[in-house]
Structure 1
């Protein structure tokens, strides 16, 4: 095919770690702790709301307001306005998108121009990098690094921190935005207020934007609390906060997300949204609206799903950590989210039949071996890093624990073969 028939901007985008390992998992019928979705149903109250929506008359099957179904944008503004301590205009400050993924795409396309530098904190969800590049921007990376302890405590995602000096050194006159993800995927780090304040101070000092991916905001453990950087002084006007109904209500297939920020920023995202998908599924938005209305009334009570889901996942997190430890893998206990990374350094594997290229990272080879030889699917953590830092973190693999106990038990049975072999 002639090179004239495709765009150069997509040349490095066609290869995708999720497609590659999902296909492998399917081919080998592996127990799937790789992809980040629940293998159980959403709560009954949002399922009922969805059923009621699709049987509620012709209007639920037609276009709704392009920038967000009115009941949904109103409850999102009301709900999050209470959290950040300010009035949010539902029609001007909120954009509903096809999942958080599209919210991110709109943000990068609307706000990043040719030659802009975008600081991305690593590890990062892998779409940030190609989205920045497609917008003409230049990704600049700064990693969270584990702080060595005395060896007596179980490693935690809280041990992974940003160096304020290293972060500050990445800012230049061309810096346009900083991208953070809290709770972080894949690490599970929940940024503390003082850590967010360091980032906020630099954003204000250099007059740059912050794109804050907060899709796992309700999933925190061990007393850790999610803090919105948009709520810090001086940050509302320069922050785009990304959220996800799929992660909030365990309904990833509904593909309802949002971006919240000041009118001056959100109007630019609206322009991109209008030129791409134009509108989102009406019935799904209606159901999400009813879910948030319920949670608004029950917020902070034991009946709230936002209380029940992390309580359930806390048990699953403990179960997975025990499985990994028994297999000789060193888990890093996540403070939030529904992923756990584990250090594979102590497991010796002969990769001779599983290395597709000489320079393939260790964790990619380990995951392929795990799928093909053991029937367990995970994700390599170096996929969440830039080329310059990938080798420093290629001994870790990512497990998803928002799964039925039967799925986790099946994974445990496989992991037990590690300790029996050694």
Structure 2
């Protein structure tokens, strides 16, 4: 399979289950049940999801092999000091057994030591840090720990798709506030900071039922780093409406402009903020599934309580390896190196869009680039399958790129409500966290778009 399915719960129409039962009453393993079980609404989506559409397009494309610039997994290994620590941990008996539910003490201490300078206070590893099975499970634990039926949560569009199911499972209602792109985004490359918040829209989304707001900075997929002024205005509204802030900062080591953490703006904001991090993102190891939350004890203890009931504890040897990685990263010069390397990859890859005259949102953080393809003219008679033809233009662009030039990207309207897909339907998202030779191959292929571009 070209792309692994996302863990998003927005999946295609469920396939009837088949069951094999030992003995004479066994049914065929391939025959559908005459009385298929009805799935819960939370997992029974009606539309085909973006990941299976990209898989399908990749499998059918005449251009092979496809260059995968879609999913945000790294094309290279973690640093040697992290890999060595993982191998060593596997040889230790205690690292192959259950860890404490809040995380291995060494990792909690390493995170407290690494983050205390940023927070301007000594973080208590016992009460203010909790380890989770990836940042996504950490956010699910935060929602499960605080959201009940009737509570409302504000998120910005575009959003990380897992937010939706994570909020809805405990019964939360979502209020969406869009980030607005620059009006001339189809004709001019612009910094990601020009995707802006309408603060009147934001406050209008707040009411007595609002329990929480989710921030994501550096932002996926926009690449925006929220400015200090923006965070201060958001913070004032959170105090006014007494909201918990869930600050998704999984790309916090990849920032190319000044980066502010909302929890650091005042003691009052720290007391209402859960900061989410990811060792997997930080150390090029997304498959390790080691995440963490930092915040005041009166918030963290309920996140830890929910985490205990979801998966009890997280992978022990990889927690130990992540602890060593945090301990060594600074002295190894890894943080500066990783930030510089990713900036260079962004610059290298975006050269092709400068050549083609396709404007993009210049990332201020993270490793995604949103490219505006309004100038790419799709043939009127192009044979899109019905489930693609019925979706916004970016899905057609995605299918077209895979079939005509052999490069996979992600259509960002997947991260919008239907009412706001018009905001992003001319964009595609590319992940640049790949080896340079892969980036060069993708660039060569994307030059094949030139004949479809009208200026």
After TM superposition, the score normalised by the length of structure 1 is 0.93
C-alpha distance in 2, partners of 1:3/1:137?
Answer: 29
Displacement of 1:225: 2.1
Aligned residue in 2 for 1:260: 294
Residue 285 of structure 2 corresponds to which residue in structure 1? Answer: 251
What secondary structure is seen at the aligned counterpart in 2 of 1:144? strand
Tell me the residue number matched to 1:103.
Answer: 138
Distance in 1 of aligned mates of 2:396 and 2:209: 38
Distance 1:82 1:409 in 2: 38
Q: 2:234 aligns with which of 199, 211, 228?
A: 199
Does 2:276 correspond to 1:225? no
1:276, 1:393 → 2: CA distance?
35
The alpha-carbon deviation at position 152 of structure 1 amounts to: 9.5
Q: CA RMSD in A?
A: 2.1
Match of 2:10 in 1: none
Indicate how the Cα distance of structure 1 residues 98 and 20 shifts in structure 2: closer, same or farther if over 3 A, else same. Answer: farther
Contact 1:229–1:235 (8 Å) recurs in 2: yes
Is 1:304 matched up with 2:338? no
The 3-state SS of whatever aligns with 2:301 is helix
Task: Report if the CA contact (8 A) 1:328-1:347 is conserved.
Answer: no
Distance 1:150 1:281 in 2: 43
The structural deviation recorded for 1:3 is 7.6
Match of 2:72 among 36, 41, 49: 36
- Give unpaired runs (5+ residues) of structure 1: none
Q: Does 1:75 align with 2:106?
A: no
SS at match of 2:232: helix
Residue 328 of structure 1 and its aligned partner are, at CA, apart by 3.8
Instruction: Compute the displacement of 1:262 (Å).
Output: 1.3
Task: Give the deviation of 1:184 after TM superposition.
Answer: 0.3
Larger Rg over CA atoms: 2
Cα distance, 1:392–1:153 mapped onto 2, change above 3 Å:
closer
Number of matched residues?
414
How far does residue 251 in structure 1 lie from its aligned partner after superposition? Answer: 0.9
| 1:9 match | 42
- Superposed displacement of residue 356, structure 1: 2.2
Q: Is the 8 A contact 1:106 1:272 kept in 2?
A: yes
**1:41-86 deviation per Cα after TM superposition (whole angstroms, max 9, x unaligned):** 111111111112112x211211121210110001111221221112
Contact 1:73 1:90 in 2 (8 A): yes
Separation in 1 of the partners of 2:219 and 2:264?
A: 19
- Whether 2:193 is the aligned partner of 1:158: answer yes
Residue of structure 1 in register with 2:443 after alignment: 412
Q: Which moved more, 1:307-316 or 1:10-19?
A: 10-19
Give the equivalent residue in structure 1 for 2:410: 379
Query: For 1:235, what is the secondary structure of its paired residue?
Result: helix
Distance 1:153 1:368, change over 3 A: closer
CA deviation string 1:175-208 (max 9, x = no partner)? 1111110000001000111111111110011001
Contact map agreement 1:25 1:32 (CA 8 A) in 2: no
The equivalent residue for 1:281 is: 315
1:51 partnered with 2:117: no
| Contact preservation (8 Å) 1:119, 1:175 | yes
Q: In the superposition, relative to structure 1, how do residues 164 and 58 fare at CA in structure 2: closer, same or farther (>3 Å)?
A: same
Distance 2:348 2:178 in 1: 29
- 2:25 aligned residue: none
Name the residue aligned to 2:274.
240
Show structure 2 runs of 5+ residues with no match.
1-15, 17-34
Change beyond 3 A, Cα 1:418–1:149: closer
Residue matched to 1:169: 204
- 1:5-40 alpha-carbon deviations (Å, 9 max, x no partner): 432332239954334424543564310000001111
Select the residue among 365, 379, 386 that pairs with 1:356.
386
Match of residue 343, structure 2, among 295, 306, 314: 314
Residue deviations 1:81-127, cap 9 Å, x none? 22111222212211111111111111112111111111101111111
